[in-house]
Structure 1
Amino acid sequence: MIYQSDCIASHQEGTFKSFDNLNLYYQSWHPHGDTKAILAVVHGLGGHSGLYTNVVEHLLPKQYAVYGLDLRGHGRSPGQRGYINTWSEFRNDVQVFLKFIQQQQPKSPIFILGHSMGGLIVLDYALRYPEEASLLKGVIVLAPSIGKVGVSPSRILLGKILSRVHPRFTLNTGLDATAGSRDEKVVATYSQDILRHTLATARLSTEFFATVSWIHTHADKWQLPLLILHGGADSVALPAGSELFYQRVTYPDKLRIEYPGAYHDLQCDINYCEVMTDLNNWMDQHLFSEIETLSQKQVISSSNHH
């Protein structure tokens, strides 16, 4: 476990109330000394907040705090595994989570990172709630599931039919665990992780595809600094999906990096150090460019007063 790591001053865990009164699990890691900024992490389908060890261990010594939640139906949070009534439940959970973080650390700037399906949730949140999202310093999506996914067309079709008549019908996604990482040790831990699951309900499936379609049609409304990181050999969430979204975003402050040969779980693939460095550098740039702008404004205003 990473909680004993030297760079961690404190690890906290607890629950916060969702918009509809569920007790959703969260955990947070805080550096020694001052916190420069916060990264809020939203995991993917079947995942949980404990899968981002490398993100935590890379960012804490750089004075970033990290918060992660377990989405409803995932990890230590309640709810049928892989089930939602409507996509807005995920979106509103993220909305409440960000407000909760702001209450905990009101002075710290916040970035948000979504991985896989979490990437779709985060993009949808930022597009649906642009005013609230404008308080964020930037949005990072890691291997976002916003294009073709590695689930067979027959399962997708079955999901569509069943969503109307039997929305809670549960299927195994059939996603291949070895498609997560090229590191065999990492893949071995997946099967032993009792908090992970490979389940998706019929309703989640139809809500997912409807949301993918919606964010692509609204990509031109995007108004926030955006970083997309994707593995070139990702067979779970094909990289063409994030490339298409990236091209449709007209907002100038955007960057997409594709790592040749990399798999789906970029945070624990064999090139994760490179990915973490790119992530950290981008966040630093977006923090410091703002500090410079502020100090320039202060210089200008003070010179105007004289």
Structure 2
Amino acid sequence: MEGRLENGQYWQGWTVEAPVGVVVFVHGVHEHGGRYAPVAARLGEAGYACYAVDHPGHGRSPGNRGNIDGMDTTVAGVAALVTMAADRHPDVPVFVYGHSLGGLVALTYLTGERHPRVVGAVISAPALDTSASNAVQRAFAPVLSRFLPDLGVLALDIEAVSRDPEVVAAYRADPLNHTGKIVARTGAEILTAATAMPARLRGLTLPLLLVHGGADRLMPVSATEVVRAHAASPDLTVRVFDGLYHEPHNEPEKAEVLTEIVAWLDAHLPPAPA
């Protein structure tokens, strides 16, 4: 199934009969929700209905390519999808699954006004390490964001997405992916949100599963350590997969990764009513 939010953002869903829970995917920079169809298929086998929204400027959503417009706008799209998914499945818990930029967006949503039925989150390689930018770039980021929002400022190494050459080839060939540089507006929004996140995490008490590839060259494991160090959740699990690249769910070992994620989701389902 698919559709449009009120603001025009594109969403899609993969449903199952009598789901035990709902998972809302929050995708990374330059990709789109459709890339999570294989993950949704695995979670669907375990009884989870899944949904994803394309961020502004990404996939089938309107906007200049690669430009999320603003973190508030992007988070609002996620919030709208969570509400829609929860309304479609009124009797089951909701989980949020955010990867890379989507991990940062998900954490921003979770530390704000989240839906009351959200019971936990999977956060994969969150965009919380800003060491790739120097002091000059950080100083000029707000200026570029305002006056040259679509200026490309930082190239991404697509080869670092996965060790599976078929995944990399499919990424390059997918017309819904943006293969240019990260633009100034998106970069500035990431910097601002990542800088604010440690303080925001102090109020986050939801159960969290943090997933990271140990050989991730796009977002170092230190980004996940920011969440471990600052989140107030008493139920926090960190899983670093040795040797894996940026997208653990798209690595040759994806079956192992997704099995662990499903096990964590299952363990955090609320008890069935007596």
TM bin (shorter chain): over 0.9
Q: Which runs of 4+ in 1 moved over 3 A?
A: 148-161
Q: Secondary structure at the match of 2:70?
A: coil
Q: Secondary structure at the match of 2:219?
A: coil
State the partner residue of 1:266: 248
Which stretch has the larger CA shift, 194-203 or 248-257?
194-203
Counterpart code for 2:5: F
Shift of 1:155: 5.9
Query: Unpaired runs of 5+ in structure 1?
Result: 1-11, 296-306
Name the CA shift for 1:221/1:247 in 2 (closer, same or farther; >3 Å).
Answer: same
CA contact (8 A) 2:82 2:115 kept: no
State the partner residue of 1:121: 105
Provide the rounded CA distance (Å) in 2 between the counterparts of 1:151 and 1:57. Answer: 37
CA contact (8 A) 1:46 1:82 kept: yes
Provide the rounded CA distance (Å) in 1 between the counterparts of 2:156 and 2:55. Answer: 19
TM-superposition CA deviations, 1:159-184 (whole Å, max 9, x none): 444124x1423206311011000011
2:271 corresponds to 1:291: yes
State the partner residue of 1:28: 13
Provide the rounded CA distance (Å) in 1 between the counterparts of 2:29 and 2:13. Answer: 20
Shift of 1:221: 1.1
CA contact (8 A) 2:207 2:235 kept: yes
Larger radius of gyration: 1
Shift of 1:141: 0.8
Shift of 1:135: 2.1
Shift of 1:267: 1.1
Counterpart code for 1:14: G
Counterpart code for 1:187: V
Counterpart code for 1:66: C
Provide the rounded CA distance (Å) in 1 between the counterparts of 2:164 and 2:80. Answer: 35
Counterpart code for 1:231: G
Higher share of residues assigned helix = 1
Counterpart code for 1:234: D
Provide the rounded CA distance (Å) in 1 between the counterparts of 2:132 and 2:84. Answer: 34
State the partner residue of 1:60: 44
Q: 1:175 aligns with which of 156, 169, 176?
A: 156
State the partner residue of 1:5: none
Counterpart code for 1:49: G
Counterpart code for 2:187: S
Q: 1:15 aligns with which of 4, 14, 18?
A: 4
Provide the rounded CA distance (Å) in 2 between the counterparts of 1:107 and 1:71. Answer: 27
Which stretch has the larger CA shift, 97-106 or 207-216?
97-106
State the partner residue of 1:184: 165
2:106 corresponds to 1:111: no
Name the CA shift for 1:154/1:231 in 2 (closer, same or farther; >3 Å).
Answer: farther
Q: Secondary structure at the match of 2:92?
A: coil
CA contact (8 A) 2:53 2:77 kept: no
Identity in percent: 30
Q: How many residues align?
A: 273
What root-mean-square deviation, in Å, do the aligned CA atoms of Structure 1 and Structure 2 show?
1.9
CA contact (8 A) 1:127 1:218 kept: yes
- TM-score, reference length from structure 2: 0.93
Q: Secondary structure at the match of 1:23?
A: coil
TM-superposition CA deviations, 1:73-101 (whole Å, max 9, x none): 10001111122443111111111111111
Spell out the pairing of 1:43-82 with structure 2 (5 A cutoff): 43-82=27-66
Q: 1:245 aligns with which of 227, 230, 236?
A: 227
CA contact (8 A) 1:116 1:144 kept: yes
Q: Secondary structure at the match of 2:97?
A: strand
CA contact (8 A) 1:149 1:235 kept: no
TM-superposition CA deviations, 1:122-173 (whole Å, max 9, x none): 00111121xx344202111111111136567776665444124x14232063
CA contact (8 A) 1:234 1:264 kept: yes
